Amino acid sequence: MNPIDELRTEGYVVLNGLADAAGLGRLRAVVAGLEAAAAEMTRSTDDFVLEAEGVGGWVAWQQGTAAVPGTLRSVSRVHVHRPELVRIAADLGLPGKHVEPAVGTPVELINTFLWAKPARVGSEKPWHQDMAFAPDGFTDRHGNVVTVWVAIDPATRENGCLEFYPGSHRGGLLPHVGDEERTGDGPRLERPVEPHIDAAALPADSTPVRVPLAPGSAVMFDGRIVHRSAPNSAGTPRRAISFVYALPRDGN
């Protein structure tokens, strides 16, 4: 099955060896810069979310409580904080070589993320669909998103590689439960619950598949596919950079 058919049928496709040694080194330098910027942080901000033992970094952020100092769970808008990431994406062939041929339409880079799971304390990202978090007005211009998630470290079953329900993108958006994110000066939540798909609503006609990746390899996936990553129970970190591309409203 070619990548175009695989993305449309399964909802995801693995891109082995997307980044060579030089490209991976450039991505690791971006990550190192983000980690250095967070080194003195003790609480999360809108873009830099720190990990927290026990409750997880997202919950600690929403409660406004302390986290593990300097230990990242995620960073959004990485290309704003580290503008060289845009050039790296172009040099990797994103989007022209990989995303646009797979979806058959021009795309627009709308966000980039660092997804970090620190050794032992890296918390779960529960089952969800990315398009469930589209901001107000997004679908006025865009029909969907496609993400390219590039492994910086080995992504394994033990340290929280991505898991997908194959074909679940074809079933539309499922209801998500949990709390909306508070940002900036928004009120703190007393007992926040990270948004997720309730277990009873998960696809009954599909079995989840784990997708381990070597450093420099990637997985490209549809914005409506159901996916998650488990907690990191290993002694090694699991970090990845993702590039989120929006499709025009009539593109998918």
Q: For the chain, which residues make up each domain, given as ranges?
A: 3-248
Predicted pLDDT at 183:
85
Q: How far apart are the C-alpha atoms of 33 and 39, rounded to whole Å? A: 10
Provide the pLDDT confidence category of residue 11 given band limits of 50, 70 and 90: very high
| Peptide bond preceding 95 in cis form (omega within 30 of 0) | yes
pLDDT average, residue stretch 99-125: 96
Predicted pLDDT at 3:
73
Residue 231 has pLDDT above 60, yes or no: yes
The class that CATH gives domain 3-248 is: mainly beta
Strands (E), the chain: 12-15, 48-50, 72-76, 108-117, 125-128, 142-151, 162-164, 209-211, 218-222, 227-229, 238-248
pLDDT average, residue stretch 38-66: 94
Q: How far apart are the C-alpha atoms of 47 and 114, rounded to whole Å? A: 10
pLDDT average, residue stretch 239-247: 98
Residue 231: closest CA among 159, 153, 129, 162: 159
Provide the pLDDT confidence category of residue 249 given band limits of 50, 70 and 90: confident
